[in-house]
Amino acid sequence: MSNAFLMRLMHAAELGEDEIQAIEELCRQPREIGAKKYLSRDGDEMHSFPVVLSGWAARYQILRNGARQITRLLLPGDAFYFDCSPNGIAIEEVITLSPCKIVNILHSDMRRLIDRFPAIGEAMRSYGCMENAVLASWVVNVGRRDALERMAHLVCEAHYRLSLVDANQNNQIYFPLTQDDLADVLGLTPVHINRKLQQLRQDGLITLRSKQLTIHDLRTLQQIAGFDSAYLAPRVQTAPERLWVIAA
Amino acid sequence: MSNAFLMRLMHAAELGEDEIQAIEELCRQPREIGAKKYLSRDGDEMHSFPVVLSGWAARYQILRNGARQITRLLLPGDAFYFDCSPNGIAIEEVITLSPCKIVNILHSDMRRLIDRFPAIGEAMRSYGCMENAVLASWVVNVGRRDALERMAHLVCEAHYRLSLVDANQNNQIYFPLTQDDLADVLGLTPVHINRKLQQLRQDGLITLRSKQLTIHDLRTLQQIAGFDSAYLAPRVQTAPERLWVIAA
DNA sequence: CGGAACATTGACGATAATCAAAGCGAGTGG
DNA sequence: CCACTCGCTTTGATTATCGTCAATGTTCCG
């Protein structure tokens, strides 16, 4: 089985055998966690960041009235609490949306690795940029797109992000979100999600059954969503001073 | 006049005289830019990140149907394109919302500075964390709060962020957003903004006239918005190993 | 003074929320 | 193996928040 975290990094930087081995070393001992488990951030995790090797999870906030808004989907290869202060109080909680394999990477280990292999540092930076791009696109999604467009956009995003990590899936992806989860990602109600899902199905765009999502017409979905993967595309870092270091 | 960028950093790390001087050095030659000017990212700016020293600006995206969604408000002390790949294509554009003083800081200069003064690196990282926290809170805002709550939340956020940079303002802040701008921040229409603004005024919570916002009852606004400044609070970084990711 | 940008108002329409009930499907235990 | 439950999905009826359209006011500025 390939390592999703490694795949992510390899998109953003040229990694040699040594780098690859070192990263795989870090991912040796993943925890296995069931679906719908809450992961709080405490103790040990202050000095490490968890990475999802397989499965889906989500970061969310709960409002006083009980409403939940998911702020990030954590797909295979994604890091969480990556953007937070190491000693910051986490406002957000994490829940697994499917069974997951998760590994905790110590900041100190990552740091040593980056000192040794600058390319990995560049790849991590590139990853952080993508996280931000996704978050900003969600603001746009929820702020300015209607229900159907939001759903189409999410499908396109998930498909694209998963394709970075596992090129095998053509039009069939594992999609464990319940309609309640979808509602909390897209800022809608489950009932409304249900109705718009039916519309997507009737229009022959997707099939969604028992956590398997089949995309019948990606082109049209992208059209509806106004989706352009450019904002997510990992970019190899070519800043000249970096290239110089790599060459040496 | 004090330097807003410096103020930001001083909240997040203990800076000595040398550090302070070095940062002020970087901010020597700000550009003065009028209101409603578009700033595109090209050429020189690929190797630098701009910082707002005074005034308000915004990052936004435009959809195919012409709708605009503002994804970040750039207040005094804020950096922009800070979260992007140095050579990444920027999907988002920037517009000034008031006259601004902006200075471009070279990544290479910042990098040298951080090598010399690690505390500055920590402060920058802390700043990045706050950017992320704001972005996530906007997803929650637009996804799960109604119009009145969103507006209240934005007012609380602006008030708090400005207070970090200039402690002087008690309940009176400079607030240059037009109702159209507000609509594009909050994912609403200008007409609806207008009506809800009136409600806030009638309830005696705020006054907003000629870009001056007076907050009469912060407590109640926070109540309505479910606002708790904890998610924005700058935290002094105490984990030295946390410094990677910054170098660009 | 005149014009442009911005704010306000009213009437009407549409998207999405709410409430409530029924159906389905997978796993559990008797 | 069958009833039973639990989580999830589907449906219908009704409501409300917010959007649209269009006109009128107001403020600011050259």
Helices (H) and strands (E) in chain A, counts: 9, 10
Domain range for residue A71?
A: 4-247
What amino acid is encoded at A141 in this protein?
N
Residue A22's nearest CA partner among A102, A101, A118, A86 is A118
In angstroms, rounded to a whole number, what is the distance separating the alpha carbons of residues B246 and B113? 12
* 8 Å CB contact between B179 and B192: no
CA A108 to chain centre: 23
Closest CA to B102 of B37, B180, B19, B22: B37
- Taking CB atoms and an 8 Å cutoff, what residues of chain A touch B147? none
The pLDDT of A214-239, averaged and rounded, is 87
Query: Which of A85, A111, A238 lies at the smallest CB-CB distance from B244?
Result: A111
Cα–Cα distance, A129 to A231 (Å, whole number): 10
Pairwise CA distance, residues A65 & A70, whole Å:
15
Q: Which of A63, A108, A239 sits opposite B241 (nearest CB)?
A: A108
Least Cα distance to B233 among A87, A128, A133 occurs for: A87
The residue whose two tokens read 């050429």 is: B43
Q: In the structure, what pLDDT confidence band is assigned to residue A244 with cuts at 50, 70 and 90?
A: very low
**Nearest chain A residue to B72, by CA:** A136
CA distances from A5 to A52, A166, B41, B154 (A): 8, 11, 31, 36
In Å, what is the CA distance from B201 to each residue of B148, B169, B231? 12, 20, 27
Tens digit of each residue's pLDDT (9 = 90 or more) over A76-114: 999 987 776 655 566 789 999 999 999 999 888 998 998
Strands A68-74 and A57-62, sheet pairing: antiparallel
Helix, strand, coil % in chain B, rounded to nearest 5: 45, 20, 35
Q: Which nucleotides of D are covered by protein (CB under 7 A)?
A: 7-13, 17-22, 27-28
Question: Which pLDDT band holds residue A156 (cuts at 50, 70, 90)?
Answer: very high
Contact A221, A156 (CB under 8 A): yes
Lowest mean pLDDT among A26-40, A45-59, B33-47: B33-47
The verdict on a CB contact (< 8 Å) between B237 and A87 is: yes
**How many whole angstroms separate alpha carbon A25 and alpha carbon A2?**
13
CA B64 – CA A12 distance, rounded (Å): 29
Q: What is the C-alpha to C-alpha distance for residues A24 and A15, in angstroms, rounded to an integer?
A: 12
Return the percentage of chain B with pLDDT > 90, whole number. 70
Predicted structure pTM score: 0.94
pLDDT at position A85, please?
A: 62
Q: What is the distance between the alpha carbons of residues B41 and B53, in angstroms, rounded to a whole number?
A: 18
Q: What is the pLDDT of residue B180?
A: 98
Is B58 a residue whose pLDDT tops 80? Answer: yes
Predicted local distance difference test score (pLDDT) of residue B242: 44
Residue A224's region, left for phi above 0, alpha for psi from -120 to 50, else beta, is alpha
Asked if A200 and A206 touch (Cβ cutoff 8 Å), the reply is yes
Amino acid at B189: T
- Strand C, CB < 7 A, residues 25-64 of B: 36
Count of structural domains within chain B: 1
Integer Cα distance of B50 and B104 in angstroms: 4
Cβ pair A187:B142 closer than 8 A: yes
Q: What are phi and psi of A102, to 5 degrees?
A: -130, 140
CB-contacts to strand D (7 A): A 36, 178-180, 190-191, 194-195, 197-198; B 146-148, 187-189, 191-192, 196, 210
- Asked if B71's CB is within 8 angstroms of A231's CB, the reply is no
Residue A236 pLDDT: 56
Query: What is the maximum alpha-carbon separation in chain A?
Result: 58
The predicted structure's pLDDT at residue B247: 41
Q: What is the mean pLDDT of residues B55-76?
A: 97
Q: Which nucleotide is nearest to B67 (CA to C1')?
A: D19
User: Terminus-to-terminus CA distance in chain B, angstroms?
Assistant: 30
* pLDDT one-digit tens code per residue, B97-151: 999 999 999 888 988 998 899 889 888 888 888 999 999 999 999 999 999 999 9
pLDDT digits (tens, 9 = 90+) for A186-202: 999 999 999 999 999 99
Domain CATH code at residue A241: 2.60.120.10
Say what the pLDDT of residue A47 is.
78
What CA–CA distance (Å, rounded) separates A174 from A98? 10
B92 has pLDDT over 70? yes
Name which of B41, B140, B235 to mutate to probe chain A: the one with the most chain A Cβ atoms within 10 A of its Cβ: B140
What ranges in B46-100 are assigned the alpha helix state H?
none
Q: Which residue has the tokens 């992320």?
A: B132
